[in-house]
Amino acid sequence: MDLAHLNRRGLVLVGCGRMGGALLQGWLARGLAPGAVHVIDPNAPAWVAERGVSVNGALPADPAVLVLAVKPQMMGDVLAGLGAASGALVVSVAAGVTLAAYGRAFPGAAVVRAMPNTPAAIGQGITAIVGNAQADAAALDLAQSLMEAVGRVVRLGDESQMDAVTAVSGSGPAYVFHLIETLAAAGAAEGLPADLALDLASATVAGAGALAMQEGGDPARLREAVTSPAGTTAAGLSQLMDPETGLGPLIARTVAAAAARGRELGQ
């Protein structure tokens, strides 16, 4: 992150909710000067101003970056209320809103769409980015450095991949949280105290995910390593891996529904 450049020209953050707030905390932790940040959000949390960040005040005439961190349903009103981006790099973390839509709002501007996910709140997110034709290598590098404040960043080859990214990693944490819910409920149904079942389910999902990241490669290999023939895991997997009623077809429908909704939001 080019701190000197950002500190000199300033950064405007529109929306300081869960994701915008996580990004702001990450930037400040990396050395961005509070006085260089200008937040637009009528409901900005108190800590933002307490850190010395300008909230709903006068904006710099020529900011280096404009970050849009509002919900896609609000984006139309937000874009209508903003002026021209001038020479600013525009970075959006809203699902569904296309590069073409931003191009109409900010003619000639370099625009980067980014799709982070909620583990960004603890610096463990993963973000996919893609830019428009005006976003050159320097613009993509700057966008990547900004998003790395909350976790890993991957670059897409084409914007058409963004709806699938949204459905897999953007919405994916909610699927995992629901898995924890259902696994804990099933444990309680088998006689475990509810709080113990939840602790076991949460730790199991977190640990298995960490192991998968550490080992890398095909997760089927890890699954097979813990599945003894005719054992308890195999019995459970016989239900999860049923070709008609199991987890595979269910997740396929889940991701397809989320991706389709992303495409609808982009219309």
**How does pLDDT run across 139-192, given as a tens digit for each residue?**
999 999 999 999 999 999 999 999 999 999 999 999 999 999 999 999 999 999
Q: Which pLDDT band holds residue 79 (cuts at 50, 70, 90)? A: confident
Please give the average per-residue pLDDT across 132-137, as a whole number: 96
Average pLDDT of every residue of the chain:
93
176 is in an annotated binding site: no
- Cα separation, 33 vs 21, in Å, equals 15
Structure tokens at 147: 């998003």
- To the question of whether residue 208 is assigned a binding role by annotation, the answer is no
Q: What's the pLDDT at 256?
A: 97
CA distance 161 to 143: 18
List of domains in the chain: 3-161 (3.40.50.720), 172-265 (1.10.3730.10)
69 is in an annotated binding site: yes
**115 neighbors 168 (Cβ within 8 angstroms):** no
Place of tokens 């050159």: 136
Ligand-binding annotation for 70, yes or no, is: yes
d(CA 54, CA 138): 27
pLDDT at 85: 63
Strand order in the sheet with 54-55: 54-55, 37-40, 11-14, 65-68, 89-92, 111-115, 125-131, 151-155
pLDDT, tens digit, 9 for 90 and up, residues 194-236: 999 999 999 999 999 999 999 998 999 999 999 999 999 999 9
- 72 belongs to an annotated ligand binding site: yes
Calculate the alpha carbon distances from 48 to 5, 68, 96, 141 in Å: 22, 17, 28, 26
